[in-house]
Structure 1
Amino acid sequence: MKKTIVVFTGAGISAESGLRTFRDSDGLWESYPIHELATKNAFERNPKLVLSFYNQRKVAAKKAQPNKAHIALAELEDVYDVVIITQNVDDLHERAGSSKVIHLHGQLNRAQSSVESSIIYDWDKRIEIGQHCELNSQLRPNIVWFGEPVMYLEEARKHIKSAYKVLGVGSSLSVQPAASLLNKAPFRAEKILVSLEIKGKVPFGYKFMRGKAASIVPVICKNWRELGVSGGCK
């Protein structure tokens, strides 16, 4: 039986594939006020503006390609049971080959009902005004907006509590409650955090490696794969 590695990823890993982040100095929130684009009230007030913004993000995500970090994480599945818990709404992990990905904040390539969040559709095209769900409500992006509950949080917590190793990648740890998941890792698990910066203190027990994911993560994954093969982690 393969041992489990849990990987927690944030905007930094997608940024290295060319996708703008929200919270950096030149991020998306510098160009667009949060209250106009990422709340339920904003959608109700100006659905055309909100849909236009997320349709543009969908186009950008389609054009982006998985980088070396995404690919290295997918290749870990040769030796380990790998669970990706991501704050990102793109599908770069899936396109790199990762088979178990939990999206805490939703997915750009899906749409959902604006009155019943459990009604979700695979939706690779644009979302337009007048496109309705089965309850005849306007479709909206499958994105967790401010003030809405994070998706699959309990499932993610269970995975990280039983992990053999935990790797955090590209997160500043500024978005809660998602970032608090790293504190649930087992005491004896090897824990590494790779990021250009974090807000506040490094979580207890983690080795912090400051730098770019595409440079550091492949090295970590190579070492873990070699350890897994030699140590019989299957």
Structure 2
Amino acid sequence: MIASSLASGIEQLGDMIAEAAMIVPFTGAGISTETGIPDFRSPGGLWTRHRPIPFDEFVASQQARDEAWRRRFAMQSTFAAAKPGRGHRALAALYRAGKVPTVITQNIDNLHQDSGIAAEHVVELHGNTTYACCIGCGKRYELAWVKQLFDTDGRAPDCTVCDQPVKTATISFGQAMPETEMRRAAELARSCDLFLAIGSSLVVWPAAGFPIMARNSGARLVIINNDPTEQDDLADLVIRHDIGETLAPFVGN
């Protein structure tokens, strides 16, 4: 059911939240746009201006790795300036209240953690762009280390342990989805009684299957997104309004 107005949608959402014992939010890029982080897929977004670099190309080509890191550092000021928005803060309030045990996110911006949700309670399906990892041995590297070397000669560095490429800790096109995170997300979707799909276009699979999984397991499904999604017909409630404005009443003190 599509909410007839923002006020009606907020009221219905509030009732569902009050009645739920276990809420699982599933967030996409739309929850972060008010913080200044662009939706890469939208018109004018980064991917409409620059072709994404697939994982196999990153691995095979030093030139591709150099370009990937050049793009990442070009975005550094945007990511560094972003602070949790009203949507992030609302979910953090529900987390503190014991309603939300864990958040599933497609985002890579670390804003759920910055809002006060413990890192172990954020399931990052697409990784995290605020640090880097060796794709061979998994050693973690901070971005400042990568940037210092990159600024020296314009080359993406390799791991100091195994000489494999160092990459942001994100999942690229063609890269395998993280098994542990996918398994945790599936368990959460099957065990909740209210599933909130927030700011996701629900077109990226297999992640887009989690709202359906939750619905098929008996949970109520709410979709909050500015634009229609292919799963709107499955939802108990659809709120097509600004995410920050929709969730602002749930931010608390």
Instruction: Confirm or deny a common fold (TM above 0.5).
Output: yes
TM-superposed deviation, 1:122: 5.5
Name 1:158's counterpart in structure 2.
187
1:135 aligned to 2:154?
Answer: no
Q: Is the 8 A contact 1:17 1:64 kept in 2?
A: yes
CA distance in 2 between partners of 1:42 and 1:131 (Å): 12
Q: Which has the higher strand share?
A: 1
Contact 2:223/2:235 (8 A) holds in 1: no
The answer for the alignment partner of 1:76 in structure 2 is 94
CA shift at 1:185, angstroms? 0.7
Indicate the SS of the match to 2:208. Answer: helix
Change (3 A) 1:87 1:23: same
Q: Compute the TM-score of the two structures, normalised by the length of structure 2.
A: 0.78
| Residue of structure 2 in register with 1:107 after alignment | 128
- Code of the residue aligned with 2:165 in structure 1: it is Q
C-alpha distance in 1 between matches for 2:102 and 2:40: 24
Are 2:185 and 1:167 equivalent residues in the alignment? Answer: no
Counterpart Cα distance in 2 of 1:160 and 1:133: 39
Pairwise CA distance, 1:88: 0.5
The answer to whether residue 174 in structure 2 is matched with residue 147 in structure 1 is yes
Q: Is 1:63 paired with 2:84?
A: no
Q: Verify: 1:212 aligned to 2:247, yes or no.
A: no
Deviations 1:181-209 (A, max 9, x none): 11111554232110011442415243111
Q: When you count helix as a share of all residues, which structure comes out higher?
A: 2
8 Å Cα contact 1:144/1:150 also seen in 2: yes
- Aligned pairs, number: 217
Q: Does 1:181 align with 2:210?
A: yes
Give distance in 1, aligned partners of 2:87 and 2:102. 15
Gap change, CA 1:93 and 1:4, over 3 Å in 2: same
What secondary structure is seen at the aligned counterpart in 2 of 1:167? Answer: strand
Distance 1:26 1:206, change over 3 A: farther
Structure 1 position 96 matched with structure 2 position 115: yes
TM-score (structure 1 length as normaliser): 0.84
Q: Tell me the distance in 2 between the aligned counterparts of 1:58 and 1:179.
A: 28
Alignment of 1:222-233 (within 5 A): none
User: Which residue identity is paired with 1:115?
Assistant: G
Measured after TM superposition, the shift of residue 165 of structure 1 is 1.4
Q: For structure 1, which runs of at least 5 residues remain unmatched after alignment?
A: 226-234
Check conservation: 1:58, 1:109, Cα contact below 8 A.
Answer: no
TM-aligned CA deviation for residue 120 of structure 1: 4.4
Query: Counterparts of 1:112 and 1:203 in 2: how far apart (Å)?
Result: 40
Q: Counterparts of 1:175 and 1:40 in 2: how far apart (Å)?
A: 19
Gaps of 5+ in 2: 1-19, 151-155
Say whether the 8 Å CA contact 2:133–2:169 is kept in structure 1.
yes
Q: CA RMSD in A?
A: 2.2
Answering whether residue 23 of structure 2 is matched by residue 5 of structure 1, we say yes
